[in-house]
Structure 1
Amino acid sequence: MFSRLTVLAAAITPHDSGVRQMAALSARLAYVMMCLTLCWGVLTATGWVRRTTGRQALRSGHMVLATLTLAFGTLHAAAFTFLDEHFSVVQLIIPFVGPTRHAFGIIGLELMFAVAITVGMRKLMFYRNWLRIHQLAYPAVGLTVIHSWFGAAANGHLSLLWLAGLTLLVPTVTITILRFLPVETLARIGLVEAEPVGPTGPTDDPGGSARTQRINVSVDNQRCRRYGICQAEAPQVFQLTEDGRLHYERRPDPRDSAQARAAARACPTRAIELRENTR
């Protein structure tokens, strides 16, 4: 085994060694940026950080991180074409032509590019279709993480990934899981405040719970910027039409009240107002 490793090490030329170092560095930077992009995107979509900075700053920060992820990921893939025994373009863009561990990275990076392309087509698509494509970023990150771990194991860098990779991956996975938990669960464990529905606080009516309480919904058109976050949180209450107009249920079904509250909390411009329906 030792003699085999010695032969393999001797077969690597100084040129290949430099290219491999560049590929490894770009891969690590892409991994870091990918985790930060996902975390920042979730924090932006949920509105959890809207109080510390403006919406435009949040959106710009997410786009910058995503662009850096794609740039470093592309650099990592392109580096393999400069090896003495280089990969062909076909091997770099078509999954499973080469080793399986590379296929995970190829699919993940291509999904990320698909998401990035559709960002510029937001106004040309129905919001729900656009949202489904945008959510492909979650499996793309998962596939890329698998590729990173397999690659680190194959290249003998697994110890580094255990230390640095887990440090970034654990909070990324945690924040993503929290993104999809029900609002009631988040309020119960103390991560979000159980905000009152109206200006005078929640009702003491014993006939209904906070989850099924009947509410009235109104939207300030001067504040609303049609980002579509409300529709993502409460699609039964808020709908963005193809021409960019927002339609919403003024008196939604009590079963949708929790989702309406989540939409009001997530709205970065605070355009949604909820009031108790006393009738």
Structure 2
Amino acid sequence: MGHVIELRTPAEIEEMRPAGRFVAGVIEATSKAAAVGVNLLELDALAHEMIRKAGAESCYIDYHPSFGASPFGKVICTSVNDAVLHGLPRDYTLKDGDLLTVDFAASVDGWVADSAISVVVGTPREEDLRLIDTTRRALDAGISAARPGNRIGDISRAIADVAKAEGLSINTDFGGHGVGRTMHGEPHVPNNGRPGRGLPLKPGLVIAIEPWFLHTTDRIFTDPDGWTLRSVDGSRGAHSEHTIAITDGDPIVLTARG
């Protein structure tokens, strides 16, 4: 049995907009609150409070996939410096120059949206800004390729072309995914692939596209906390993610900010 790829009606995509708006708002608020001297647990508390006020539901707090050591227990991912994905918020105070990724997914009225942003706290390093910019351009390229008539591989290749032009290597263990009633569904959307291959893109397909790259490696390991994924060589990582809906024309970016 293959996994079912669900296509959403235009009405259902409209119903997903509040989730997208809410997730965008939390990403914006937490990334803006990230400053020198702010603790990661404060960012988690801010997201928690926003979830409570909106009557939304966390996708993370009870999340326990096969690769997780235990249920996640927090509502946002905060990955700092050499951490790039699934950063479990901990008692850590942000320092000048830290590269922070905030990743957040929540459910509003039964629909999920998922988004991520990387920012530099305080004084930035040029190479960190460039890495963040590369993930953003790769995300834009992936979104541009998300059109009917293309395939998943066309999105993957568009992302990879941006990374490779910057001399970055690409990990394909973790990438984008289907989004709907749950946070992670089919199809998997790797950050590298072959054009013209994979699932044909059809209107109504809702996916999260999420390029993430490390400065000098594509290999990661799991921190002793059982969740946080770090680069094997200590180099820093950046990550950009949006939830998008494929339509007959331009894709709709459900988690667009501002």
TM over 0.5: no
Give 1 or 2: higher strand fraction: 2
Calculate the TM-score normalised by the size of structure 2: 0.29
Give 1 or 2: higher helix fraction: 1
Q: Report which of the two structures shows the higher radius of gyration computed on alpha carbons.
A: 1
